[in-house]
Amino acid sequence: MLVTLSEILNKAEQGNYAVIAPDFTSMASVRFQLEAAEQFKAPLILSYVKHIEPLCPVRSWKKWISIIREECELYDIDICLHLDHGTSVDECRQAVDAGFTGVMIDASTKPFSENVAVTSKVVEFAHAAGVSVEAEIGHVGTAAEGTYLTEDSARSHLTQPDQAEIFARQTGTNCLAVAVGTVHGEYAGEPHIDFDLLAEINQLVSVPLVMHGGSGTGDKNIEQAVALGIRKVNVFSDWIVPAQRETARLITEKPKDIARVATAQQIVIHDILAHWFQISGSVNKG
């Protein structure tokens, strides 16, 4: 059943676990992710990034979102339909109007004051519609930008605890994505997570904390991050890369065997998410 981002994360806060937030790319991946979560009785944050809108299987994007909402209501677990990395106020407004139960406004590359102003605008209309908001302070970049976020010398990109506390209080955001050493995409070298920094942020900030770039971070690192207050972990590369590679292999072998490709993707999603539900502590928490 559909719940808000706040509802799903507040339960995680009380239970000291994290909710996995995999991005989906198709209606099939939506179903496969929901089925895996239901099997393990784990809550799920179905995450959507706007740049996959060309993959919308119907003419109306809003209709597609309504279909996904209807699908979510068929499952006996807590599910949040969440906009991931909304890039503008208008994009977040479209998601709220379409029926998302959580939206992320990512103004993390903007100056602090502008990030506060943009986030506050989204919080105002989202809360009025009963929708929760995620924001980001500090900047979790991509592996393509370099390895700076895995190096201790690059603290200018990481979340500063005092700023995070002020930001959360001034904006009224429901949860906060923080930069503590993870990257989007595949790491160039070993990840180095600043757990001391995470612990300090967790002590100062009163809302649940979010980790972006969960893929490839390592089981022990994830478990420690959850112990230190991370309540939502974004996962994409971990499932999409093996699924795409297996799809390419099968299509090369038998281009017309479409059902075999779908089954392979289902198996990949099931196995990857099963592991993530375990290390996040979210099994039987749905």
Rounded to two decimals, the pTM is: 0.92
Tokens describing residue 132: 């929760």
Exposed, middle or buried, 183 (CB in 10 Å: 0-12/13-18/19+)? buried
pLDDT at residue 12, rounded to an integer: 98
pLDDT, one tens digit for every residue, the chain (286 residues): 999 999 999 999 999 999 999 999 999 999 999 999 999 999 999 999 988 898 889 999 999 999 999 999 999 999 999 999 999 999 999 999 999 999 999 999 899 999 999 999 999 999 999 999 999 998 776 555 444 444 444 555 788 999 999 999 999 999 999 988 776 566 566 677 889 999 999 999 999 999 998 777 789 999 999 999 999 999 998 899 998 999 899 989 988 888 898 999 999 999 999 999 999 999 999 8
State the Cα–Cα distance between residues 217 and 220, nearest whole angstrom. Answer: 9
Angle (nearest 5°) at CA 137 between 114 and 23: 110
Closest CA to 23 of 44, 47, 43: 47
pLDDT at residue 214, rounded to an integer: 76
Amino acid making up residue 3 = V
Tokens describing residue 244: 């795409």
pLDDT at residue 155, rounded to an integer: 59
Tokens describing residue 187: 């790491």
pLDDT at residue 237, rounded to an integer: 84
Closest CA to 232 of 8, 15, 20: 20
pLDDT at residue 138, rounded to an integer: 82
CB neighbours of residue 233 within 10 Å: 26
Helix (H/G/I), strand (E/B), else coil: 141 = coil
pLDDT at residue 189, rounded to an integer: 61
Tokens describing residue 150: 């895995």
Q: What sign does the dihedral 19-22-27-30 (CA atoms) show?
A: negative
Residue 76 appears among annotated catalytic residues: no
Contacts of residues 144-148 at CB distance under 8 Å and 24 or more positions apart, as own/partner, are 144/185, 145/183, 146/188, 147/183, 147/187, 147/188, 147/189
Catalytic residue among 23, 84, 106, 238: 84
Closest CA to 100 of 120, 58, 129: 129
Tokens describing residue 154: 């690059």
pLDDT at residue 75, rounded to an integer: 98
Alpha helix ranges (H) inside 79-229: 89-98, 112-128, 161-171, 195-204, 219-227
Cα within 13 Å of Cα(132), Cβ side: 22
Query: Domains in the chain, start-ordered, CATH in brackets?
Result: 5-280 (3.20.20.70)
pLDDT at residue 51, rounded to an integer: 84
pLDDT at residue 147, rounded to an integer: 44
Tokens describing residue 160: 């500063």
